[in-house]
Amino acid sequence: MEEKNLNAGHRKRMRDKFLKGYEESFFNHELLEIFLFYCIPVANTNRLAHDLIKSFGGISEVFNADKEELLKINGISDKTAEKIVYIKNFIGRYGESTKKDSEFFNFDKIAEYYVNYFRNVKAEIFLFVSIDPGYEIFNKVSVPVNMLTERKISLNDIAKWLIKKNMHHIVIGINHMNGIIVPTSTDYNMVQFFSKNLKVLDIIVEDCFICSDSRAFSMRKNGMRFNDGF
């Protein structure tokens, strides 16, 4: 009974310290220990956390371990192993869901790039760019709008250029010569056409910027969802 009370007091102190914002002062085994509080009601999870890290090499390796490997550790039950595996999958899914919004988008930076690019362009063009995780433009393909509307360049041509340059997450820029940055029905239809047809080639249209007179309008930022249609 005394050991149980001591364990409960230790757990409360650890939780209180964590919830007060001192998580950065914790060692990896202590963070793992706190996680195990919620898996194992009564046990010395400090020792178990040490055993897990020692066996697998680190906290990330623990959460990347297979259930069968986790069950080899003394003190890890079937339910605890399942929870560890669940956390790994949950974190992976969370990372995927945030990646699209955070990794590929810095609206202001991309808008600035397009505004500067189009500043001295005297014809309406589609500018396809691909961006890296640091929001840097690492490749681009420009296509005169009239070449598309007059069918002198096909979607297949554009797709070949994009694939050749390894451009799979792209943003489209369109410059308007009339000073208006509101997208036209033609803009909508063309971007939707690109999004639908390039998707089958694993090329994702992430956004389209309409630019004119040093201003830019982001379709995505204003509610357009290309892959679901307009």
Domain residue limits at 29: 2-99
Cβ-based neighbour number of residue 182 at 10 Å: 10
Confidence grade of residue 135 (pLDDT, cut at 50, 70, 90): low
One domain, residues 122 and 208:
yes
One domain, residues 138 and 159:
yes
Q: What is the CA radius of gyration of the chain?
A: 26
Of 59, 78, 99, which residue constitutes the final position of a domain? 99
Instruction: Provide the number of structural domains found in the chain.
Output: 2
Characterize the bridge pairing of strands 204-212 and 169-175.
Answer: parallel
| Predicted structure pTM score | 0.53
CATH number of the structural domain spanning residue 164 = 3.40.140.10
Confidence grade of residue 95 (pLDDT, cut at 50, 70, 90): low
Confidence grade of residue 169 (pLDDT, cut at 50, 70, 90): confident
Can you say how many angstroms the Cα of residue 205 is from the centroid of all Cα atoms in its chain?
A: 14
Map residue 57 onto helix, strand or coil.
Answer: coil
Distance separating alpha carbons of residues 13 and 7, to the nearest angstrom = 10
Of 99, 134, 168, which residue constitutes the final position of a domain? 99
From the list 147, 148, 137, 145, the residue with the least C-alpha distance to 210 is: 145
Map residue 210 onto helix, strand or coil.
Answer: strand
Is 144 within 8 Å of 177 (Cβ atoms)? no
Of 79, 99, 119, which residue constitutes the final position of a domain? 99
One domain, residues 66 and 124:
no
Find the largest Cα–Cα distance for the chain: 85
One domain, residues 126 and 31:
no
Tell me the pLDDT tens digit for each residue of 39-71: 888 778 889 999 998 998 888 889 888 899 999
